[in-house]
Structure 1
């Protein structure tokens, strides 16, 4: 019965989205803003079990509508969505305008952040959107959001280096970088470009103790330097304390490899 109700909700929200949008960027943003405000409202009152049910429902509606609009209307990949950003939707766009991520905190987590992501990219003049919410709560899943996308080209192929953040609790957080590329119209999230002593990977990740940066005015974050083709990550010591030192991975023609 719950499955049937959920399908009905999804179908209704898609139908309303189609009627409401009418190809208008303002209408699309207004519709999404209305739902995201509900997410944030119920998130602030989730100690009430009724609000928790509404929070779950509104997150699902927002996720489906965002995926629908970003798939149906190609122009959305370049819209600023200023009002949504003010409501804490995190948007990152590649320099070439081909790849974009949308991330928001569902506020469903007990301690850290539970993040849903919609990944959008262009293909043959159209846009494709992927909703990444199906692994929430699964063992080993890292809930993350993307604040920045770097563009890197080698051998005629474009790669997108997306930095991300995670918050597990008040004392533990993480950062990293994931590599994406588009191949034959499909978004590939695991191109092996980073070589370490233990293998070749498509991402870098590190966890750290939040208390180690508590009195810092600013702290280093992972970034890509296009001019030198290097990835820089903060060094975290064996006690999970972040240091001000950096680890550098330089592109050597085939892989990013650690500079000694």
Structure 2
């Protein structure tokens, strides 16, 4: 059994190894205030759902990412972010040195966690932080880096616009996820034409109006489902006509039904 290690992220930023692994558990509702790291960060949770948010400075690195079980979030070095926990979260973090991280994506991305990648992340937690050259710990770190270079990206990014009027529109939609308020109504509240709103929304977020709202609903659904809320109640609260309609949206987005998704996550 590996010795108990620090749960202070700062203790991992200058480790003389390309990959440093930190396990840390959080209660439901815990909030980690905005911060950044010298190293790149792969955030993975064996249980619970995380919402990771950054300032909307650009389309790729601004917005909110939902990180459920079977997914992880890659954050490049120096990106300021905050994290909200939905459900009790068992977070397992890999801090990757900046020079090594240069070979990985330059933007925040939610990625698929295969059985192999999951096993490697958990195995890294059991090795010494400063593993020896030629050791099992070094082999795990190198295989982790190899796996991360070829992972599939999952569309769980909710980009936020920079325009103040669009930010107000997004806040309204987030407050009214159960409503199907049309773009004409929202445009009037923003003091814009619907055509201008649609064009500017697409330019600033990279998503159409309806696609953005679906992403927001999926994010909220994952948070609620992770807490054990029944699918029928989640579907009703998010404005879907039936549980079947909600399940169809979930399957289109994540390739699996809600029940099967969370039963796999718990197993």
Fold shared by both chains (TM-score > 0.5): no
TM-score, normalization by structure 2: 0.28
TM-score, normalization by structure 1: 0.28
Q: Which has the higher strand share?
A: 1
Q: Which has the higher helix share?
A: 2
* Greater RCO (Cα-Cα under 8 Å, separation 6 or more): 2
